[in-house]
Amino acid sequence: MKLKLYLVFLFGIIAISHSQNKFDTETVSLSERWNLIKPGDKKQLFKFEPYKPVYILFANYTNNINLQPTSENPNNTVPFPLDLNPVELKFQLSFKTKILQNVFGEKTGGDFWIGYTQSSRWQIYNAKQSRPFRETNYEPEMIFILPTKYKLFGLNGVYTGVALTHQSNGRANPLSRSWNRVIFHVGLEAQNWSVIFKPWIRISEDLAEDDNPNIENYIGRAELLVAYKHNRHQVSFRGRHSLNGGDNNRGSVQFDYAAQLYNNLKIYTQFFHGYGESLIDFNHKQTTIGIGLSLVNWM
C-alpha cells in the first residue's frame, strides 16, 4: 500500500506540475519560470508551475553510506549502526504556485509564491530490511519575487527575492532533522544560461530542541546554481559553502546532466560530493552518483 501511494503521488504531481508548460528543445528562461513576461496576466494565479527539477534516479550509489547518523545534540545520535545498502532509488518532486501578484503595482510588480519540494531516498534494493524509505526531506516555502532590470558580467538581472523556508525529514528522535531559514534570491540569465545565487540566514532554535546544531557549517550558508542548455542537452552546477574557513570550511558540489530522449522525457545523471546530500546526512561527507530519468530541469 505504501508503495502504491508513493507512486500515485509521484506521477500525479508530475502530471500537474508539467501540464501546459514547454519543456522540449526550447530554453525556458527564468523570466518565464517566474511569470515575469506577462506580469498582468491573472491566469497565472493558483496554477501549478515547475520549480526545482523533477526526476527519478533508479540507481543512486554512495561510496560512504551513513550507517550511524550523528548530531552534536546527543538526543539525535543513533546508538547503533543501521543495515543499509549503498545503492538506492532517489526521486524528487517540486512545484510552485503564485498566490498574489503585482503587490507594488503593475509597473514595479512583486509576486508571492508558495513552493514545495520533496526528495526521497528509498532502499528499494534492500530486501533484507523490507525495502524501507531511508530518508525523505520535505521543504515548503513562501517566496516573494521582485523583477529587476540590470546587467552584470554580460548577464541580465531578472529578479531578486526572499523566502521563508522550512525543511525537515518528519522523523522522531534520534533520526529527526529540521531547520528554518530566510533565503535571499538573485536570478540572472543570458541566452541558454541561468544563474541563481541564494545566501541564507538560519532562524535560530533553542539548543536543547535543535536536531542539528551548526548545520550551516556543513550544508552551508549560500548556494550558487549555474545551468546551461544547448539543443537537447542540459548541464548544471550547484555549489554550497559554509562561508567559513579552518575546520568549518565545508560544503558540497553537485553536477547534473540531462539529455532529451522523447518530448519531455530525458535521461538524467547526477553527481554529488560533500556534506548534506540529505538532512540526515547533514554532517556526513560522501560521494554519490546516480542515473535515471527527468521530466523537469532548471531550463
Catalytic residues: 166, 168
User: How far is the C-alpha of 71 from the C-alpha of 278, rounded, in Å?
Assistant: 14
Burial letters 190-229, b for 16+ CB under 10 A, else e: eeebbbbebbbeeeeeeeeebbbeebbbbbbbbbbbbbbb
28 and 34 Cβ atoms separated by less than 8 Å: no
Backbone angles phi, psi at 122, to 5 degrees: -115, 120
Amino acid at 286: Q
Helix or strand holding residue 24 (H, E):
none
Measured over the CA atoms of residue 230, residue 38, residue 18 and residue 30, the dihedral's sign is: positive
How many residues are present in the chain?
Answer: 299
SS (H, E, C) 100-114: ECCCCCCCCCCEEEE
C-alpha cell at 177: 532533522
**Contacts for 36 with CB less than 8 Å, ≥ 6 apart:** 30, 109, 145, 147, 158, 159
Beta strand pairing status for 54-62 and 155-168? Answer: unpaired
Closest CA to 214 of 283, 136, 139: 283
What stretches of the chain adopt beta strand conformation (E)?
49-50, 54-62, 87-100, 111-122, 133-152, 155-168, 178-190, 193-202, 222-230, 233-241, 251-262, 265-275, 285-296
